[in-house]
Amino acid sequence: TDLNFPKDTFDDSYLQESSEWSSAMGIYATELRCGNCLELLLAPYIECAACLPIIRLVNKRIKTTPVLVCLSCFVRGVQFDSHKNDHDFVVRRDNISVLDKDWTGCDELNLLDALRICGVGNWDAISNRLNCSKTALECKIHFFQYYVREKKKTVDSAPKEALPYVDSIEDPPRPLFQSPAYYDMAGYNAARADFEIEHDNNAELLLSDIESIYRHEDHDSDAKLYKELVSAVVGCYQSKILERQRRKKVMRMHGLICTKKSFLHFNRSRSYLPMQLVGLYPKLHQLLNFDQLSILIEGFKCETELRERQRTLKLYRHNGLTQICSATVFEELQESRNLQLREKRTMVIGGIARDPTMKKVSLPLNIVGRPGYEKLTEAERHLASEIRLMPRDLIRFKAMLMSACKKHNGLTLAHARVLIKIDVNKTRKIYDLLLSRNEISIK
């Protein structure tokens, strides 16, 4: 390469221009990062069409970069800075033809990278770096035709228009007339966005008695009274129309169209809510719309995660750890210790080998930080750890036994074992604990 292109005469400005042109067109994805997670972007990726470009100072030069989002953050609907997840967007990809119909944008980038590493003229090595998808002769012809001789550098097939944000593409529910789902939705037809029978359905009859032409003169006293009467009737009709719109808005904004999804979302986040808010969930739906309620639940979720993190840090501090880097060693040693305790059951105790027919003793389960741990009392935590039961399962079993006791005016152990399909010994311990605290009674 040095013999064919001496350093004092070889001009590689077209290589720099080509690289800058590819980066400017938004397809040189290896130099761009996601605005949220700061990961290197690999095409396809998303460019926001609503946010203003970011101005940066690079090598004493001002450069503007659009707000870019990787696919992982895009599908999760993340929001950062001024970017919102309902903005219009453009999909940037490199599988389109840029200069030649047989060469995609990804091939163009790989060719430029191979030229930068291998040098111009080493076409066999360049072809190998392209995974032999292009021969050495094809690489040479394409390079000299489009990057040396031809000066046309336009991208005709790249998408330029912004795609609108679509809130939902699911088909709205269409319950049958007088079916249970029809009554659950109060007769609301989501496909038409109106009720089968509107609020005050005969409100239009108010306007039927209004005459469009006044029969009295303007100076007549009855004409003025007639105008006031017409204005009052129209005002009444307008208030009824506004009430109809308000009821439709309540159906849309408070999650009443698909109630199953609303309660499914609630059940997934139930373990993060305080006990006093679990029974108030239907009332909260009346005060807050679905988005506001989701933000509230996410807030409780973040609080639970922070409490769990705080509890973990207190555990580290209690064991003498002062640096977070020592936590990894502590976790490994703790896991090794638990493994030794599990193996201890098979060791020789007091010079006598353990009888394999003897019942194995299970180690207590570590339930600290598990969902529902905060809702248990100290005795319930000890019981859940002893019988190796998750906190939320213990809460569910406790609610089942208390409900059955209230329904049948008492509860026997045999009936409790029928309700709870777990080990009978675990059921007896739960039953005895509730019985000792007078939360249930014997029938």
Residue pair 69/50 in contact by the 8 Å Cβ criterion: no
* Two tokens, residue 2: 């040095």
DSSP per-residue codes, 306-356: HHHHHHHHHHHHHTT--SGGGHHHHHHHHHHHHHHHHHGGGS-BTTBPPPT
pLDDT the model gives residue 164? 60
pLDDT for res 26: 37
Instruction: Indicate the residue type of 163.
Output: L
Closest CA to 97 of 87, 89, 107: 107
Residues 212 and 234: their CA atoms lie apart, in Å, by 13
Distance separating alpha carbons of residues 85 and 46, to the nearest angstrom: 11
3-state secondary structure of 104: strand
**Angle, CA of 16, 22 and 26, to the nearest 5°:** 140
Sheet-wide strand order for 45-48? 68-69, 45-48, 89-92
What percent of the chain is helix, strand and coil (3-state, nearest 5)?
Answer: 50, 5, 40
Assigned token pair, 349: 């105790």
User: At a CB cut-off of 8 Å and minimum separation 6, what does 300 contact?
Assistant: 269, 272, 273, 274, 277
CA distance 115 to 147: 12
CA distance 315 to 309: 10
Question: Which helix H or strand E contains 404, and what residues bound it?
Answer: helix 391-408
| CA 4 to centroid of chain Cα atoms | 57
- Token pair recorded at residue 277: 């808010």
Residues 6+ apart with CB under 8 A from 190: 172, 173, 174, 257
Please check whether residue 387 is in contact with residue 363, taking contact to mean a CB–CB distance below 8 angstroms.
no
CA 230 to chain CA centroid, nearest Å: 53
Residues 6 or more apart whose CB falls under 8 angstroms from that of 372 comprise 271, 390, 391, 392, 394, 395
Q: Check: CB of residue 123 under 8 Å from CB of residue 136.
A: yes
CB atoms within 10 A of CB 116: 13
Q: Identify the bridge partners of residue 65 per DSSP, sorted by sequence position.
A: 54
List the chain residues with pLDDT less than 70.
1-31, 57-60, 94-95, 150-170, 211-221, 345-361, 443
Give the amino acid at 39: E
pLDDT single digits (tens) 266-285: 777 777 777 777 777 777 77
Q: How far apart are the first and last CA of the chain?
A: 97
**Amino acid identity for residue 258 in this structure:** C
Residue 56 contacts residue 63 (beta carbons within 8 Å)? yes
CA-closest candidate to residue 44, choices 131, 144, 163: 163
Residue 9: per-residue pLDDT: 37
Predicted pLDDT of residue 270 = 74
Q: What pLDDT, on the 0 to 100 scale, is given for residue 1?
A: 33
Q: Which residues make beta-bridge pairs with 68?
A: 47
CB 26 within 8 A of CB 64: no
CA 167 from chain centre, in angstroms, equals: 14
Name the region of 53 (left: φ>0; alpha: ψ -120 to 50; beta: rest): beta
